[in-house]
Amino acid sequence: MGSLLPLSLLLLLAAAYPGGGRARRRRGARAQGPGGSSPAPSDTSAPFWVRVSPGFKAVQPGGSVWLNCSTSCPLPENSSLSTGLQRGQTLSGPGWVSYQLLDVRAWSSEVRCFVTCAGETRGATAKITAYKRPQSVILEPPLLVGNEYTLRCHVTHVFPVGFLVVTLRRGGRVIYSENLKRYTGTDLANVTLTYTLPARPRDFWKPVTCHARLSLDGLVVRSSSAPITLTGLAWRPARKALASTSIAALAGILLVVGAAYLRKRPLMQNRSKERRVSAG
C-alpha cells in the first residue's frame, strides 16, 4: 500500500499541470543552442536614440556645413545620410559620424541621418536653409506729385525673395508692409517697392525708413535704409524743370551784367585819371 501513494500523487500532479513535462522539454530545448551551447542574449528590443546637430542651419548660397549624427547604440551596425546636397568629407568616432555638405544653394533642404542597431534602424532629420542678406536697402528721396508723396524703396541682391517682408515706417510707425511670399524664384533678386503717401502738414519733418526682413524658420535677418525726412519742399518734375530754367536765366543775366561792367571799367578808370591830371 505504501508504494501506491507516490504513484497516486504523481498522477494528481500530472492532472493538475497537463503537458508540464512537454513544456519543460521545450524550454530545455530552447535553452540549448546549436552544439549544445547557450546563445548570447539579444538586445534587439533595447531602446536607442539617434540625434543630428545642428537641427537647423542657415548659410549663404554656396556655403558649406557640417552635420554630426550621434547615437546611444553601443555597437551600431551601419550609419548613413540621405540628402540631395553635395557631400564632402566624412569623419567618425565612437557613437558619432560627421558629414560635410558643400555648395549649399537650395533655399531649404531636409537631411536625414540613419543608424542601424541590432537589426533596427532609426533616424533623425535636420533642415538646412541657404539665404543672402540684402546687399543694400535704399529709400529714394520722396517725390511730391499733387498732394501725394511717392516713396520708392530698393532691396538689392536678396535671397530667397519668397521669405522677404518689406516695410515702410514714418516716425517709427508702420505705414505700409508687403509680404513677397508669392515669389518662388531660386536666384538672387532685386526688389523695388513703390508706395504713395498723402502729403499732410503734420507729417512734415518726420523721418521715413525702409526695412527688409527675411524670416527663415527661426532665423530672422533684418536690414534698413537711411532715414529720409518728409518736407513740404519736395518738388515735382515740372517744378524742378522750371527752377532749372530760372536759375539758367539768372546766370545769363549775371553774365551779361558782368560783361558790361568789365567793358565800362577801363573807360571809367581813364576818366578818373583825366580828372586827377586836370586837378593837378
Give the Cα separation of 265 and 272 in Å (integer). 11
- pLDDT, tens digit, 9 for 90 and up, residues 57-87: 988 888 999 999 999 999 999 999 999 999 9
Among 85, 110, 130, identify where a domain stops.
130
Q: Which of 80-89, 116-125, 267-276 has the lowest mean pLDDT?
A: 267-276
Asked if residue 111 is part of any domain, the answer here is yes
Q: Which residue has the higher pLDDT, 178 or 279?
A: 178
Count structural domains, the chain.
2
Averaging pLDDT over each range in 25-34, 78-87, 260-269, which range is the top one? 78-87
| Beta-bridge partner residues of 109 | 128
Asked if residue 166 is part of any domain, the answer here is yes
pLDDT of residue 42: 38
Asked if residue 110 is part of any domain, the answer here is yes
User: What average pLDDT does the segment 39-47 reach?
Assistant: 47
Contacts (Cβ under 8 Å, ≥6 apart) of 230: 142, 149, 170, 199, 203, 204, 205, 206, 207, 208
Residue bearing cell 535553452? 31
With residue 130 as reference, give the H or E element that holds it. strand 120-130
Asked if residue 39 is part of any domain, the answer here is no
- To the nearest whole number, what is the mean pLDDT of the chain? 77
Asked if residue 29 is part of any domain, the answer here is no
Provide the 10 A C-beta neighbour count for residue 274.
10
- pLDDT, tens digit, 9 for 90 and up, residues 187-222: 889 999 999 988 887 777 889 999 999 988 778 999
Q: Both 145 and 112 in a single domain?
A: no
Q: Both 142 and 226 in a single domain?
A: yes
Q: Both 120 and 147 in a single domain?
A: no
Any idea what the CATH number is for the domain that residue 164 is in?
Answer: 2.60.40.10
Q: Round the CA-based radius of gyration of the chain to a whole number and report it.
A: 44
Asked if residue 22 is part of any domain, the answer here is no
Strand pairing report for 120-130 and 56-59:
parallel
Q: Both 75 and 150 in a single domain?
A: no
Exposed e or buried b for every residue in 170-195, given b needs 16+ CB within 10 A?
beeeeebeeebeeeeeeeebebebeb
Provide the 10 A C-beta neighbour count for residue 202.
6
Asked if residue 210 is part of any domain, the answer here is yes
pLDDT surpassing 70 at residue 32: no
Q: Both 170 and 210 in a single domain?
A: yes
Quote the pTM value: 0.55
Asked if residue 147 is part of any domain, the answer here is yes
Among 101, 130, 159, identify where a domain stops.
130
Domain that holds residue 92: 50-130
